[in-house]
Structure 1
């Protein structure tokens, strides 16, 4: 009888364990996601995290947002960057100058005026073909499109279902990160200009 009572007294109170478990689960999520992003080196879709952690997309988004705030507040060197459907580890803007100073790139990959014009057309009107871009700009755009593809700011989306089946282009997550956007919805209103577009000059 005494042995039975002793065993009953040893049973922990479930209510006292729940807060600790909830906190542990959140910390475990942050750690696991950080590890996955570090190993991947590429954006990971929310759908994949939903599958891995058996959570809803809303829960995943909320946890990732809290993870970003926590890592920013802690002054971490890398932080999660969220888009409409993916998350990726990026350098904390607070340390950008130090990183650039260390790497000392021999040549900054800047965008020429013609490349910026081409990128703007693609960003606002995607998916678009080369012919669509040239119709807006009034000049040929092969060089600009090629350079934007090399820099990973645009990508091929497939072919348009029309005569000739031309390639369609759209922007990438790298485009969003470069311009500090989380989604295309954050693009400023399309500028209206009556100026003639400049020549698409090849830069060596």
Structure 2
């Protein structure tokens, strides 16, 4: 795959329910999937925020150059400005490999530009298909048909909305996969396979 993946990640409780913005004093250290010890979680009060297993593997393989041309960005409908602050602070602390944070990888992909669409305050909205993804397309120049989207929302079908609406003139659009239990390694591989089939014009 040489496409960007727009992947949802994290947490054990909804961001808007968490009480505090994590800082360096709130990190949890542990094994980063065999790549060494680093920041595997951050605490917001008594609630832990961490990467799902598939998100960590995806970001590690991406950072190692396994998918030439792939870039990663986030489309999150964080409920409140405070929830957005919690999410962004977490991304700047959680590590992909020792010393390299999720935010480092995101910034490397886009030459230091923040193209991520996080939140639902204007100009964003709760509907990713009408705001987050059109804005991602504009900010990145990446066609909808070159996007792979993972989403773990359990109260609505963002994937259905995005794949149904975000299409190019030729009818091809975003490839998406719902991950209601979070992005696991198997779901990440399944998404890559679905994307490859869509690019090849094979039914998925």
Shorter-chain-normalised TM-score: which range? under 0.3
| Structure whose CA Rg is larger | 1
Q: TM-score if structure 1 supplies the norm length?
A: 0.24
Structure 1 or 2: larger strand share? 2
Query: Taking structure 2 as the reference length, what is the TM-score of the superposition?
Result: 0.24
Per chain length, whose mean CA-contact separation is higher, i.e. which structure has more relative contact order (CA < 8 Å, sep 6+)?
2
Name the one with the larger helix percent: 1
